[in-house]
Chain A
């Protein structure tokens, strides 16, 4: 087990390193991305730009700039180019909104995805299945920003049932928090419910034809127990690993569109605005933060997977 952990840790570090380098280089390659010019502002003279370049170290060779930036990130001293504020501080402020979105939506899409997948498989070929399939396809195909905008327009703007976007911290007002989060939760979940119900449906139908399900029936146990204890339990295993990766991604800012449409001021939205301004430090930090989450959760998922499916347990437990 220790060897496993050590190996994962080393590969995690390497992955994060590679991602940081890649992100850094991408920004170097973008045209019009001269940070000195951006910092200097509209009415800048070549001298101001040159001076800024010196103070900020943009005249250093790339690898040196990289090292300096990474050092700043790890000491928590990252300043964004655009706003002159501490990036880590910003992210800490934005995190609650993203966490609220991720946890709430995560629970909803897991529960409904499993429910619809189960219904579809149990009534495979009949009307319920076909209807749910169509809904799933709509869910998967509808762009989040379209769905979010439409939802906001009809349910918030026109009907006034929900607020027009924005985020209210849980600690400040739980009811308002809930009121603001419902639409974003549903909008974000739609895509995942579509995916998960299809994956589960397919797993269930495959599992139902397995020999051990036939054996279970031949043992004379109730049909319900066959379905839950044998078919569903085994079919859920891949869903678990899917879920943890998607969840990690959302925390890392993958809900960038949802957050922006609903103006939740979360990590994703911060990333969106930073990208638009070609502001490297926040983007770099958020990317690494997201990557870190995904890598850690994927390692945890592997462990959980091994617990659930003993066939793939690593040797030398």
Chain B
């Protein structure tokens, strides 16, 4: 079937972000490429420090600074966000691309009422008077399920519960109907029940609008709940990318196996201890030679001293990974104790 290739909403091509520090150049993002389409939820998964937040923030130019070094491109609507001027970025921020941050308590101005904070964004992009903007803010609050929205407009952030604050942040992000929403760990600072509600908001957003969503998280449970496609990051690079099903049922990279294996499962007998990936992520100022996961990987062998390219190695064109093991070996080695996981360290090559 031939259909015209739909243009991606966002195309990230070999994005590089480094920060100059006293200890040298820390390469937080080292050659990351992915696409996001309208109406799709892309999850970026990884440990703390893998570069996923920096990737998200760089798309909005929030990492720009005197010691930041950028490379590569991120094309949105024909405009390269990495090289965009400040004015171009200002117009895109909040209107075309919006971001929801991790901790709603610190992400909102504590001495300003939430009504004006919402109105401020609206009036930065639309020519509305103060009252009209506040009215729109009230509608937005109702839309994200905050009761007594009119009263809440006059509330300060600390007068709201964590869940309501995050809903307010989402309302703020949606206020100008963005085409791309970047959610950076939106549920991490909240308890599980609120988490479910917030994810429901994301699902509703996907159903009601055509917006694309980049969901940055370290929680695979969240990923399983809302994501369409997943990208796994490790030490500043993507190590695996594929659809949700591909990642959960046919993971190709040992790091992904480790992540999946470390999830506590309700439907299985309780293990004596939670499996964890031994070791710690490498320093981004001096990453290891070759495959970056090699020092922690129980399946490493001689070839791993050479960095694998991110390619489709298992026969599915869009399922990419960075591991030299053959597809056969992968299927075999990822079975640990009857489920997918990372084998404990044996003496390897």
Name A residues whose Cβ lies closer than 8 Å to a Cβ of B: 210-212, 214-223, 225, 229-230, 233-234, 237, 308-311
Give 18 CB contacts A-B under 8 Å: A212-B110, A215-B108, A216-B109, A218-B60, A218-B62, A218-B93, A218-B98, A218-B101, A219-B94, A219-B172, A220-B90, A220-B94, A220-B124, A221-B94, A223-B90, A225-B124, A233-B111, A234-B110
B:197-237 near A, CB below 8 Å: none
Q: Which residues of B contact A309 (CB under 8 A)?
A: 110-111
* Residue from A217, A219, A311 in contact with B158 in the complex, judged by beta carbons closer than 8 Å: A311
* Bound Cα distance from A309 to B158, whole angstroms: 11
B314 shortest CB reach to chain A, Å: 38
* Residue from A212, A229, A237 in contact with B108 in the complex, judged by beta carbons closer than 8 Å: A212
B177 within 8 A of A: no
Q: Which residues of B contact A223 (CB under 8 A)?
A: 86, 90
Q: Which residues of B contact A237 (CB under 8 A)?
A: 111
- A229's nearest neighbour on chain B, judged by CB, is B120
| A212 and B94 in contact, given A219-B120, A219-B121, A221-B124 (Cβ under 8 angstroms) | no
Name B residues whose Cβ lies closer than 8 Å to a Cβ of A: 60, 62, 86, 90-95, 98-99, 101, 103, 106-111, 120-121, 124-125, 156, 158, 169, 172
* Residue from A220, A229, A230, A308 in contact with B93 in the complex, judged by beta carbons closer than 8 Å: A220
| A220 and B95 in contact, given A211-B101, A214-B101, A311-B158 (Cβ under 8 angstroms) | yes
* Bound Cα distance from A217 to B156, whole angstroms: 20
Q: Which residues of B contact A222 (CB under 8 A)?
A: 90, 124
- A217's nearest neighbour on chain B, judged by CB, is B62
Interface of A is mostly: helix
Nearest 9 interchain pairs by C-beta = A220-B94, A220-B93, A211-B106, A219-B121, A219-B94, A221-B124, A212-B109, A218-B99, A211-B107
* Bound Cα distance from A276 to B120, whole angstroms: 60
Q: Which residues of B contact A219 (CB under 8 A)?
A: 93-94, 120-121, 124, 172
Q: Which residues of A contact B91 (CB under 8 A)?
A: 220
Q: Which residues of B contact A214 (CB under 8 A)?
A: 62, 101, 107
* Bound Cα distance from A216 to B107, whole angstroms: 9
* Bound Cα distance from A215 to B60, whole angstroms: 11
From A212, A233, A237, A311, name the one whose CB has the most chain B CB atoms within 10 angstroms: A212
Q: Which residues of A contact B120 (CB under 8 A)?
A: 216, 219, 221, 225, 229
**Are B106 and A210 in contact, CB atoms less than 8 angstroms apart?**
yes
- A215's nearest neighbour on chain B, judged by CB, is B107
Q: Which residues of B contact A233 (CB under 8 A)?
A: 111
| A220 and B107 in contact, given A215-B101, A310-B156 (Cβ under 8 angstroms) | no
